[in-house]
Amino acid sequence: MAGKREKIYPESKIELSPFVARHYDFLLDLVTLGGYARFIRKAMADLGIKPEDSILDLGCGTGRNAELMMKYLGPTGKITGLDLLPEMQEQFQKRFKDRARASFQQQRIDVPFDLGEKYDLAFMSFVLHGFPQPTRMIILENARRHLKPGGRLTILDYAEFPLEEKSKLFRWVFRTFECKYALDFIEYDWKAILRQLDFQVEEEKYYFKRSIRLLKSRLPD
């Protein structure tokens, strides 16, 4: 059927249909009544980007986050966005005329890969929760492989929380609209997992009543 493609992870919602991928930002703003736009601007400001940073954006989507991050970069800073979907590449490249400073590579992040380059910051926004746990570990290893000594890994995603302690409405929304992998993602101790991968956890920032977290970590120098 036109507009359909076979999913790598059928039980995940991380892989979007061509239509949703093309209109993702508009649909996200529409269903959140503009709330997501305000939230993501705040989260990007909280990243602590340095003007000279080289950033690897794993699962970059349309480039919306990259566009916000670029505002904090100086003339030597740059962003490389990775995503699987060609629709995301099209939208990413529409945002950036300077391909030397903001480039896109169509790349699966759930299998081992090597770009042959090291970065100051690896960033993921609402990516990890959409994969099974063994695949999440591959993605984290990919991020670590591409960081310089002392490089930072920052993950914006759901925090750990007991779902049963949330409101009835929250539980319904989460179970209805999230994939099954998100249900176990919120049960893992992600700080402990990062430490097992040699990252030093540096800071946490929470949003939406501690349901979402910006988790900052760093490799040793």
> 9 in a domain, yes or no?
no
Range of the domain at 64: 18-218
> 3 in a domain, yes or no?
no
> 132 in a domain, yes or no?
yes
Total structural domains within the chain: 1
> 5 in a domain, yes or no?
no
On the question of pLDDT at 35 being above 80, the answer is no
The CATH number covering residue 39 comes to: 3.40.50.150
Q: How high is the pLDDT of residue 22?
A: 55
Q: pLDDT: is 191 or 16 the higher one? A: 191
> 13 in a domain, yes or no?
no
> 197 in a domain, yes or no?
yes
What tens digit of pLDDT does each residue of 36-57 get?
Answer: 788 899 999 999 999 999 999 9
> 6 in a domain, yes or no?
no
Q: How high is the pLDDT of residue 200?
A: 98
In this prediction, residues 120-128 reach a mean pLDDT of: 96
3-state secondary structure the chain: CCCCCCCCCCCCCCCCCHHHHHCHHHHHHHHCCCHHHHHHHHHHHCCCCCCCCEEEEECCCCCHHHHHHHCCCCCCCEEEEEECCHHHHHHHHHHCCCCCCEEEEECCCCCCCCCCCCEEEEEEECCHHHCCHHHHHHHHHHHHHCEEEEEEEEEEEECCCCHHHCCHHHHHHHHHHCCHHHHHHCCCCHHHHHHHCCCEEEEEEEECCCCEEEEEEECCC
